[in-house]
Structure 1
């Protein structure tokens, strides 16, 4: 008699713990339609159907019949084959998320492509500007080189003219010097003859 309350209490705890552990989220596997029954077996009456990806709550499992008792979104408690349940969401539920991820990745890829195209265009523009600057610098360098050659030519001509002028001045000085020397020489030769003759005339008059 004393064992009966203990056994009942143990069974109650086991039932509560088994019931709470059995209530797990499950999903209808990837089939078009899953028929549900009023009991754990195909011999029981079909009471409805579930669509692919519908979320249900697993209540219990009949291992002998390999059937699962579930509660669906309409709060119906029904049975269906255990192999038609899945612990992960079906592809039908994942598809919108995957499509959203694909759309996000596609948008990011387009943005990256647009950004890359913009950077490429900017680099090409900078390269074109650099080519234009280089071309202008080359033209300016050619112009300066031409001016340098012209200036060097003018300097050479001016140096030649300066040399010619110096030669002409030196020649003039030589000519002046030669003329003065010639005159001096002539005077030096004539003066001795002129001066003594005057002395002789003075003596004769005395």
Structure 2
């Protein structure tokens, strides 16, 4: 009877010292394996093990024995020392994730580098094309200027020739006019002598 009463008091004290939590995710520490027990203390029998880094669900804790009741991925409910679980994933779990993140970042950097190189190559091509177009336009502009200078010289020469021709034509007209005037004057002087005059006696006779 006393033994039964003692067991009841022990269970009552355990239940009072046990804090119930809403189910939370926890992770087993980085030890190789962690033992599971049937109760919140080292005196309880072992029921199995969980692997390092394995995710478990926290059900409740015992503040006196510093044990936590958890449920593993297989649905087993057992007790485990609080010191052997953590809110953060273990290194064994995080290392592959970190490696994957590093790989993803490396791939992104590689893609960014390739994209940047491609953009740089495209810009260089555009700049080269622009330089070629600018050079071509400069050459064309130079040729047009040279052609304009030649055309201006030709126009100037043509104007000089035109002025000379105009002067020559004017001189010819002056010469022709002077010749006509001279011939008229000469005829005016010669005709009176060439036409015979009638005598006065001939006038009376008639």
Deviation, 1:86, is 1.6
Alpha-carbon separation, structure 2, partners of 1:112 and 1:132: 30
Aligned residues: 188
- The aligned counterpart of 1:125 is 125
- The aligned counterpart of 2:198 is 199
Deviation, 1:50, is 4.1
- Unaligned regions of 5+ residues in structure 2, if any? 1-14
Alpha-carbon separation, structure 2, partners of 1:23 and 1:187: 148
Contact 2:19 2:63 in 1 (8 A): no
Alpha-carbon separation, structure 2, partners of 1:202 and 1:148: 86
- The aligned counterpart of 2:110 is 110
Deviation, 1:129, is 0.5
Alpha-carbon separation, structure 2, partners of 1:24 and 1:191: 150
Contact 2:40 2:69 in 1 (8 A): yes
Q: State the superposition RMSD in angstroms.
A: 3.2
- The aligned counterpart of 1:68 is 68
Pairing 1:54–2:54 present: yes
Alpha-carbon separation, structure 1, partners of 2:53 and 2:153: 95
Deviation, 1:60, is 4.6
Deviation, 1:201, is 10
Alpha-carbon separation, structure 2, partners of 1:40 and 1:124: 72
